[in-house]
Chain A
């Protein structure tokens, strides 16, 4: 019974990027960049002038970014299908689609806090999945909706 409880908890402990990469083990076309919570702590020590940016960084716990320049449309379709399959976990925040580029932003919420923010996107040349985890509130999203200043 204890094992069952542990397994049931462990099954939940996967972010979107990890799930996607599990479906593409040994796929050399995909590149996955990972920034762990430990590295995020170090990133917080990087000299950043923008207080707003600092606040955003403090809300982020980890980041994973998957990218590929091959099979762009196929990967995009698969990522969108995976997101839709887990729609009860990752709700659609916004989406955009034109011939050249398309994207979907999805969020996972826990008690009105966004704990996971995903962006699945494609353009003519590349496919990418950006996956943030953390405790992202409305201020975080509002700042994203305006513009992000990356100067440091």
Chain B
């Protein structure tokens, strides 16, 4: 009997180290299921009784349903985006830019109304002369230069017109002679 216990103790030792085979585990379950268990091994009896009872436990018929109900979450469906839907952010941005430009244009037109056609930044002008007479001389000199330029240009136009008229006259005269 002592020898058997020795064997059981060895099996137990191997059981804790997870080295027992299924057959050896069955021997242990059978041993601990009997009423006559030695005193030193009795603490393990309840453990093996519990283990054995758990083996009889089986999944119920509703197990699958329960599990499936837990994992059966709502499915995210892919939405179909149309061309307009895809380009909408860009269209919105373009519209914003267009609005800004339009407002800028309106602001410009407002600031530069009929009464304010001169849109120059005169505040930045720094006078060269403090004497108005000197300024007048400078202005009149500049006006003279422009005037000379315009007169020169007008004369040149008149000359070229005169030359072209003369050339046209010669051509007409030759045409009459040929007839």
Question: Are both chains from one complex?
Answer: yes
Mark A residues whose CB is within 8 Å of B: 1, 4-5, 8-10, 12-15, 18, 32-40, 42-43, 45-46, 48, 53, 56-57, 60-65, 94-96, 103, 105, 110-111, 113, 115, 117, 119, 121, 128, 130, 132-135, 141, 144-148, 150, 152
Q: How many residue pairs at the A-B interface have CB separations less than 8 Å?
A: 143
Considering the complex, give the chain B residue whose CB is closest to the CB of A95.
B153
Q: Do A12 and B126 contact each other (CB < 8 Å), given the known contacts A35-B138, A43-B139?
A: no
Q: Which residues of A contact B128 (CB under 8 A)?
A: 32-35
Contact pick for B118, options A14, A33, A135, CB 8 Å: A135
Q: Which residues of A contact B105 (CB under 8 A)?
A: 8
Residues 38-53 of chain B, each 1 if its beta carbon lies under 8 Å from chain A, else 0: 0000000000000000
Q: Do A4 and B104 contact each other (CB < 8 Å), given the known contacts A14-B120, A62-B125, A133-B120?
A: yes
Shortest B105–chain A CB gap in Å is 8
Size category of the binding interface on chain B: 35 or more
Q: Which residues of A contact B120 (CB under 8 A)?
A: 13-15, 61-62, 133
What's the Cα separation between A139 and B151 when bound, in Å?
A: 15
Mark B residues whose CB is within 8 Å of A: 100, 103-105, 107-108, 111-112, 114, 117-122, 124-129, 132-133, 135-136, 138-147, 149-154, 156
Q: Do A150 and B140 contact each other (CB < 8 Å), given the known contacts A121-B149, A135-B117?
A: yes
Shortest A60–chain B CB gap in Å is 7
What's the Cα separation between A54 and B152 when bound, in Å?
A: 24
What's the Cα separation between A132 and B143 when bound, in Å?
A: 9
DSSP majority for the B interface? helix
Contact pick for B150, options A10, A12, A105, CB 8 Å: A105
Q: Is the CB of A119 within 8 A of B146?
A: yes
What's the Cα separation between A115 and B19 when bound, in Å?
A: 106
Q: Which residues of A contact B119 (CB under 8 A)?
A: 9, 12-13
Q: Which residues of A contact B129 (CB under 8 A)?
A: 33, 35, 39
Q: Which residues of A contact B132 (CB under 8 A)?
A: 39, 42-43, 45-46
Q: Is the CB of A43 within 8 A of B121?
A: no
Closest 10 CB pairs of A and B: A5-B107, A150-B140, A36-B125, A42-B132, A13-B121, A94-B153, A148-B147, A8-B104, A110-B117, A130-B142
